[in-house]
Amino acid sequence: MQAQCLCGSVKISAKAHHQVSVCHCSMCRRWGGGPLFAVHCGQEVQFEGRDFITDYSSSDWASRGFCRQCGTHLYYRLLDANEYILPAGLFQDEDGLALTEQIFIDQKPAFYNFREQTENLTEAEVFAKYAPS
């Protein structure tokens, strides 16, 4: 899967599943102004234009990357596993993406809902499923 930032300074090549997750946590909503629609790409991600990437340590276990030229959100990276979760919107020409999961569902504001039937995980369920032991 191929992606790039708004200005084209950063280009991304990733081997990704075509499953889209939505994160409703307060940090993702603050970062992007709404829920994060994301594709888990694991470790198989290559970046061209790394000099344009700024990495922000958003927690003890993760960082968020963005293009310092245009501000495009590029990734959420799990530090221990070195796994990348990329915003689904970066993949403009990708067919076959499907919304399959919503996380931090207990933090979702009441002003929006999605019609797709997905797995819905609360904050506690997310940490039980994904947090390093």
Domain ranges within the chain, ordered by starting residue:
2-130
Residues 13-28, mean pLDDT to the nearest whole number: 91
Contact 67, 74 (CB under 8 A): yes
3-state helix, strand, coil in the chain (%, to 5): 20, 40, 40
Please report, as a single letter, which amino acid is at residue 84. Y
Residues 80-104, mean pLDDT to the nearest whole number: 91
Please report, rounded to a whole number, the percentage of residues in the chain having pLDDT higher than 90.
Answer: 81
Q: Look at residue 116 and give its three-state secondary structure.
A: coil
Residues 106-117, mean pLDDT to the nearest whole number: 93
Residues 7-12, mean pLDDT to the nearest whole number: 98
What was the pLDDT predicted at 133?
Answer: 65
| Cα(80)–Cα(6) distance, integer angstroms | 29
Average model confidence (pLDDT) across the chain? 93
- From the options 3.40.50.1000, 3.50.90.10, 2.170.150.70, 1.20.58.1030, give the CATH code of 2-130: 2.170.150.70
| Cα(88)–Cα(74) distance, integer angstroms | 10
